[in-house]
Chains A and B, each alone.
Chain A
Amino acid sequence: MSTILELSGVTKNFVKHLDAAAKLARRLGADVKEEVVHAVDGVSLKIAAGEVVGLVGESGCGKSTLGRMVAGIMEPTAGDIRYKDRVVSAMDKQAGRETALAIQMIFQDPFASLNPRMRVQDIIGEAPILHGVTSRADAGDYVAQVMERVGLDPEYRKRYPHQFSGGQRQRIGIARALAVKPEFLVCDEAIAALDVSIQAQVINLFMDLREDLDLTYLFISHDLSVVEHISDRVVIMYLGRIVEVASTEDIFDSANHPYTQALLNEVPRLDVRGFDYQPIAGEIPSPLDPPPGCHFHPRCPHATARCREERPQLREIAPGRVSACHLNDG
């Protein structure tokens, strides 16, 4: 399969700006620094056309930030994003616009991301008209077709978002993204807010769309069961860095990185009854002040002196499989 998206050394820092009082204190000689959050710290990753890649990690590890950069909603501080072999930031206007349309993002909260004062037909139809995917005259039919595609009755096109259930609203969000004929979908916790029975409908819909439209997905979720169900490959992030990438089978059957192993141990499973939960070993570090060396060392049962000093590089440990842990050096 050909690579559709390639990230190299993609980094995003957020600077927490000082307020007036802190600035004054600094001018008077106090030791106040601007705090920098390394939300995404040198991420490199290739995604093949037609693949579903799951992105997993604890809250605050940088999943949404990475997803936003991929979708072109946010610019990296450093590093390159290539879409179909071209660096996105170096594209001319026309190519940049095409890429922006080709990569669409679907958000967690279907309600917050839909304009409450717009009718469904305008929510779905606005962008395709603007970008010439359909004409104003054909928009009605086009919207009806997209609505049917996601399992919404076109009869409802004159309604407003609040007149729909949660699962239907998420379908509106998906329809809006599909309406511009994207090739790549970034789904950020796209089913987290839905009921179990509705989740199943939306997961099935994502899988059908993949088959029918040859879509590629970056599927961000903190629900490992969903990721296992839907993904071909899984990327595990910890405090801004990728720590492991492998096929779904390998991740769930034989995780390599100690963080991945710890994460999988915590996942509640329907077939595991009367589980003895364990407390977290060590402290949960802050993304403002990540520990040196391997970010995971304060919580890692195998950590050595080297782990506390030297950052482990992401290395190939088997074909198509990478992990960043010193234990792999033998």
Chain B
Amino acid sequence: MTDTAPTLQVENLETHFFTKDGVAKAVDGVSFTVGRGEIMGLVGESGSGKSVTGFSVLGLVDPPGKVVGGKVLFQGQDLLSIKEEELRHLRGNRIAMIFQDPMMTLNPVLRVDTQMIETVQAHDASVSDDEARARSRDALGQVGIPSPEERLKAYPHQFSGGMRQRVAIAIALLNKPDLIIADEPTTALDVTIQGQILYEAQKLCRDTGTALIWITHDLAVIAGLADKISVMYAGRIVEQGGLGDVLDHPAHPYTCGLLGSVPGHNTRGKRLYQIPGMTPSLLKLPKGCAFKERCPHADAACETAPEITHPVEGRALRCAHPQVDLAGVAS
């Protein structure tokens, strides 16, 4: 491990699902870097490969899926080549994931306090039961669970769906990990509770240098929270860059379409932009650019799959027809 290595560096990651109908390239050459204290938003439509990217980083891809290529460097150490036991130790300790489904974190047959105390002590065995319980109670309070002391004694099924998600978030924050991958963690929650959770996440990144990947389809959340953004489409990152750069000067037609279809203050009463067509199946992707059939700018050049380009420092793009002159914008 080197001090200068970024917290997470993913290079050309490829994860395929070998189904009876063919090979689905759910993650197809994905690269990104997240530094200490940095927050990356990962957006894209349903089925674009956001969750599978997260699972791949943590070594949680189950058959028929398999990571078939690339590197995942956590503080310089390649997670794809270390032993399962070491990886398990890192998860729950220095790397945490908040899943779309909280029951992937919670054990239905254990009381919440049992699970939380176990998590604290797995990280540091010298913490007493009382101390671990106190930390657990505070963590529940931090995610906006009322009467945390009493709620510690409950089982997961005694919580509503939204509360369960908050417990799962509390568990992920418990040990102040170096890296958190949060998969749509607040989609089902109220704005108030979401604000509270974003506050805790932001605080953790600022105070302890935790690197955070926030997976969502809510661009507004990313706008408020992230430092940089990666946009996925059909298993690939199609655009990537600093938050303001991408949101203010989107270059990929898909990013432009996404941003145009968000309702809000300036759209009151108007028709929203609709990206035409539907998400293509990974098994039947068009040749060339996967967005071709839905793109208003597609032409003959798009028959060849666009390579990733870096028009300016810190920006990546996969498109034959960038919608802004990035070099011009940068200068």
On A, residues with C-beta under 8 Å from B are: 58-60, 165-167, 195-197, 199-201, 203-204, 207, 222, 224-226, 228-230, 248, 252, 262-263, 265-280, 283-286
Please give, as numbers and ranges, the residues of chain B lying within 8 Å of A269 by CB-CB distance: 220, 223-224, 264-265
Partner of A272, one of B191, B223, B258, B278: B223
Determine if B192 and A200 form an interchain contact, defined as CB atoms under 8 angstroms apart. Answer: no
Contact with A along B127-167 (1 / 0, CB 8 A): 00000000000000000101100000000000010100000
Nearest CB of chain A from residue B22's CB, rounded to whole Å:
19
Nearest CB of chain B from residue A43's CB, rounded to whole Å:
20
Determine if B192 and A199 form an interchain contact, defined as CB atoms under 8 angstroms apart. Answer: no
Determine if A278 and B224 form an interchain contact, defined as CB atoms under 8 angstroms apart. Answer: no
Contact with A along B196-223 (1 / 0, CB 8 A): 1011101000000000000001111101
Q: In the assembly, what is the distance between CA of A203 and CA of B267, in Å?
A: 12
What is the chain A residue whose CB lies nearest that of B43?
A196
20 further A-B pairs in the complex, CB-CB below 8 A; given A203-B272, A204-B272 = A58-B193, A167-B278, A195-B46, A196-B262, A197-B45, A201-B274, A225-B220, A225-B262, A228-B264, A262-B192, A263-B191, A266-B191, A266-B195, A268-B223, A271-B223, A273-B223, A273-B244, A273-B247, A274-B224, A279-B196
Determine if A280 and B144 form an interchain contact, defined as CB atoms under 8 angstroms apart. Answer: yes
Nearest CB of chain B from residue A241's CB, rounded to whole Å:
17
Partner of A280, one of B196, B272, B273, B278: B196
Determine if A58 and B224 form an interchain contact, defined as CB atoms under 8 angstroms apart. Answer: no
Q: In the assembly, what is the distance between CA of A222 and CA of B162, in Å?
A: 13
Partner of A196, one of B45, B162, B196, B265: B45
Nearest CB of chain B from residue A238's CB, rounded to whole Å:
11
What number of B residues sit within 8 Å (CB to CB) of A? Answer: 48
Q: In the assembly, what is the distance between CA of A276 and CA of B217, in Å?
A: 21
Please give, as numbers and ranges, the residues of chain A lying within 8 Å of B144 by CB-CB distance: 280, 284
Determine if B224 and A275 form an interchain contact, defined as CB atoms under 8 angstroms apart. Answer: yes
Please give, as numbers and ranges, the residues of chain A lying within 8 Å of B272 by CB-CB distance: 200, 203-204, 229
Determine if B224 and A273 form an interchain contact, defined as CB atoms under 8 angstroms apart. Answer: yes
Nearest CB of chain B from residue A131's CB, rounded to whole Å:
33
Please give, as numbers and ranges, the residues of chain A lying within 8 Å of B220 by CB-CB distance: 225, 267-270
Residue B322 is within 8 A (CB to CB) of chain A in the complex: no
Please give, as numbers and ranges, the residues of chain B lying within 8 Å of A59 by CB-CB distance: 160, 162, 189-190, 193
Please give, as numbers and ranges, the residues of chain A lying within 8 Å of B258 by CB-CB distance: 196-197
Determine if A195 and B223 form an interchain contact, defined as CB atoms under 8 angstroms apart. Answer: no
Residue B259 is within 8 A (CB to CB) of chain A in the complex: yes
Nearest CB of chain B from residue A301's CB, rounded to whole Å:
14
What is the chain B residue whose CB lies nearest that of A265?
B195
What is the chain A residue whose CB lies nearest that of B227?
A274
Partner of A286, one of B146, B191, B223: B146
Please give, as numbers and ranges, the residues of chain B lying within 8 Å of A280 by CB-CB distance: 144, 192-193, 195-196
Q: In the assembly, what is the distance between CA of A283 and CA of B322, in Å?
A: 49
Q: In the assembly, what is the distance between CA of A177 and CA of B141, in Å?
A: 42
Nearest CB of chain B from residue A14's CB, rounded to whole Å:
14
Residue B76 is within 8 A (CB to CB) of chain A in the complex: no
What is the chain A residue whose CB lies nearest that of B162?
A59
What is the chain A residue whose CB lies nearest that of B189?
A59
Cβ contacts A to B, 10 pairs, < 8 Å: A197-B275, A225-B264, A228-B268, A229-B268, A268-B191, A270-B220, A270-B262, A273-B243, A275-B198, A275-B224
Nearest CB of chain B from residue A291's CB, rounded to whole Å:
12
Q: In the assembly, what is the distance between CA of A278 and CA of B201, in Å?
A: 11
Determine if A195 and B198 form an interchain contact, defined as CB atoms under 8 angstroms apart. Answer: no
What is the chain B residue whose CB lies nearest that of A197?
B275
Please give, as numbers and ranges, the residues of chain A lying within 8 Å of B261 by CB-CB distance: 196-197, 199-200
Please give, as numbers and ranges, the residues of chain A lying within 8 Å of B190 by CB-CB distance: 58-59, 222
Determine if B221 and A268 form an interchain contact, defined as CB atoms under 8 angstroms apart. Answer: yes
Determine if B264 and A195 form an interchain contact, defined as CB atoms under 8 angstroms apart. Answer: no
Please give, as numbers and ranges, the residues of chain B lying within 8 Å of A167 by CB-CB distance: 278
Please give, as numbers and ranges, the residues of chain B lying within 8 Å of A278 by CB-CB distance: 195, 199
Asked, given contacts A252-B265, A270-B264, whether A204 binds B271 with beta carbons under 8 Å apart, the answer is yes
Determine if B192 and A197 form an interchain contact, defined as CB atoms under 8 angstroms apart. Answer: no
Determine if A200 and B274 form an interchain contact, defined as CB atoms under 8 angstroms apart. Answer: yes
Please give, as numbers and ranges, the residues of chain A lying within 8 Å of B146 by CB-CB distance: 283-286
Q: For window 221-273 of chain B, which residues contact chain A by CB distance below 8 Å?
A: 221, 223-225, 243-244, 247, 257-259, 261-265, 267-269, 271-273
Asked, given contacts A195-B217, A228-B263, whether A277 binds B268 with beta carbons under 8 Å apart, the answer is no
